[in-house]
């Protein structure tokens, strides 16, 4: 199987349930340029950081917190940039005051983050898995393009199905912003562990640009009901 958006989704995230009914997510980072590929994902406390290889200079568009999670509530935010912490803290506050975690909060945060200030007007993408103290898991995914208001979608939490969003529509030479209008990409997975989820997304996303593998890393996460288990696959 190939990634449902190929060969170049840019950054891509999915949320849903494992076949055992546990909340889970997957996050993919790819890059066409040597600078974009010179990155790796690292766990730091309750975060996954996308950082540089070696002593490369920090770049806020390429280096960021991609994942932030809370074990007690099961909340996890995943995104491709500066918006991750804001999404996480907003929905953790909603959880703590037992307020309904609707999609409008994510939509406003994504609109405020705006598209990236680069030549491609790279969209921001983000997601949340949350809930209330009295209900099951709820998830939303969102995208902010430079030419449209932020759009946010509730994920149907089905066993063995992950629903996602991506930065680009798949063209390598001239990538265009992902258009969610025709529908969101879905993965049918049998994987039940974060390691298997991360490896699966990494394997189906193989592609090359000018003879170089575009894959940078994948991150997989599964919530047991008590804590998040996280796994990372790095190309470098």
Q: Residue 91 class from Cβ within 10 Å (0-12 exposed, 13-18 middle, 19+ buried)?
A: buried
CA distance 84 to 205: 23
| Per-position b or e across 36-70, b if 16+ CB within 10 A of its CB | bbebbbeeeeebbbbbeeeeeeeeeebbbbbbbbb
Closest CA to 146 of 171, 114, 179, 119: 114
CA distance 183 to 149: 17
Rounded mean pLDDT, 86-100: 95
Taking only the tens place, the pLDDT of each residue in 183-198 is 999 999 999 999 999 9
Residues counted in the chain: 236
Q: Which residues contact 60 (CB under 8 A, 6 or more apart)?
A: 81, 82
pLDDT surpasses 80 at 135: no
- Per-residue tokens: 84: 């991750």
pLDDT band of residue 133 (cuts 50, 70, 90) is low
Q: Residue 134 class from Cβ within 10 Å (0-12 exposed, 13-18 middle, 19+ buried)?
A: exposed
End-to-end CA distance of the chain: 23
- Name residue, tokens 């288990």: 229
Provide the β-strand partners of residue 68.
47, 77
The answer to whether the CB of 109 falls within 8 A of the CB of 87 is yes
The answer to whether the CB of 28 falls within 8 A of the CB of 50 is no
Closest CA to 128 of 167, 158, 157, 98: 157
pLDDT surpasses 80 at 218: yes
Q: What is the pLDDT of residue 134?
A: 74
CATH H-level, domain 11-234: superfamily = Inosine monophosphate cyclohydrolase-like (3.60.20.20)
Q: What is the pLDDT of residue 136?
A: 86
- Predicted TM-score (pTM) of the model is 0.97
Taking only the tens place, the pLDDT of each residue in 108-132 is 999 999 999 999 999 999 999 998 7
Task: Assign 3-class secondary structure to 126-139.
Answer: EEEEECCCCCCCEE
The ranges assigned to domains in the chain are 11-234
**What's CA 139's distance to the chain center, in Å?**
12
């Amino acid at each position: 199987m190939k990634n449902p958006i190929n060969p170049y989704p840019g950054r891509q995230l999915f949320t849903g349930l494992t076949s055992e009914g546990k909340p889970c997510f997957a996050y993919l980072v790819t890059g066409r340029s040597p600078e974009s590929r010179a990155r790796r994902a690292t766990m730091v406390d309750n975060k996954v950081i996308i950082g540089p290889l070696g002593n490369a200079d920090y770049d806020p568009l390429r280096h960021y917190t991609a994942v932030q999670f809370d074990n007690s509530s099961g909340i996890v935010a995943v995104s491709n940039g500066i918006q991750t912490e804001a999404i996480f803290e907003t929905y953790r506050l909603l959880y703590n005051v037992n307020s309904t975690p609707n999609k409008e909060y994510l939509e406003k945060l994504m609109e405020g983050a705006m598209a990236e200030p680069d030549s491609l007007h790279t969209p921001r993408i983000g997601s949340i898995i949350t809930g209330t103290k009295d209900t099951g898991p709820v998830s939303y995914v969102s995208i902010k393009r430079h030419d449209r208001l932020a759009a946010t979608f509730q994920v149907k939490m089905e066993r063995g199905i992950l629903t996602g969003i991506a930065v680009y529509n798949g063209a390598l030479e001239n990538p265009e912003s992902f258009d969610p209008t025709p529908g969101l990409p879905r993965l049918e997975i049998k994987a039940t562990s974060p390691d298997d989820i991360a490896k699966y997304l990494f394997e189906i996303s193989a592609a090359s640009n000018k003879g170089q593998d575009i894959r940078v890393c994948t991150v997989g996460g599964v919530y047991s009901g008590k804590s998040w288990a996280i796994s990372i696959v790095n190309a470098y």
